[in-house]
Amino acid sequence: MSRQEQKQKTRRAIIDAAYSLLDEQRSLSSISLREVARSAGIAPTSFYRHFKDMDELGLTLVDEGGLALRQLMRQARLRIASGGSAISTSVDTFMEFITANSNVFRLLLREHTGTSNAFRAAVLREIHHFIAELTDYIMATTGLDRETANLQAEAMVKLVFSAGASALDMQEEQQRQLATRLKLQLRFIANGAQSPLNDED
């Protein structure tokens, strides 16, 4: 293995170690550099060859977590293009992600309202990416104007993230019930976007 490949492998081990330490009790700010290094199987001094500090690692985790979720939702849209229901497929894909990557989603939720300005801004950027991609998709599939499509996308993303927060601590059957309600709520939003209220209403 080349030095560059080894460096990438160690960097990956640090990122995975940090994710593994996050759970329902622990946030990013409560995890120490030494804990991450120990979990990754490296000396604490080796950490600095890959990240300037824990803040830089945290931003990497937020960016990577948001990107992983966005990529999964893009794949869901490809499945929709081959004949699936847009809302149903998207919700099912999102719930699968939360179940398989609960620590990643916890990170995004926590840091969205956390004490670090940099982390909050990073999560907000990820949410804006979600809204922008969904806006483009809605425009392409419904013919709505950008402003209306953007309002619909924003409402949908906020509702889905809120439902995701609730789903984290639910049993499987409760998650299924939540997903059913969420699909119905998203259809309300989609139908409403097709018939926007007049200013007088």
Q: What's the pLDDT tens digit per position in 124-139?
A: 999 999 999 999 999 9
CA angle 71, 76, 81 (to 5 degrees): 125
For residue 169, count other CB atoms closer than 10 A to its CB: 10
Query: What amino acid occupies position 43?
Result: A
User: For tokens 């209220």, what's the residue?
Assistant: 197
35/200 Cα distance (integer angstroms): 58
Nearest by Cα to 106 from 39, 181, 167: 167
Q: Taking the complete model, does pTM exceed 0.85, yes or no?
A: no
Record the tokens describing residue 50, joined without a space. 């890959």
Per mean pLDDT, which range of 100-104, 131-135, 145-149, 160-164 is the poorest?
100-104
Percentage of the chain lying above the pLDDT 90 cut: 56
pLDDT tens figures, 11-64: 999 999 998 888 777 878 888 999 999 999 999 999 999 999 999 999 999 999
CB-facing half-sphere around the CA of 175: CA atoms within 13 A: 17
CA separation (Å) from 142 to 7, 105, 194? Answer: 46, 29, 9
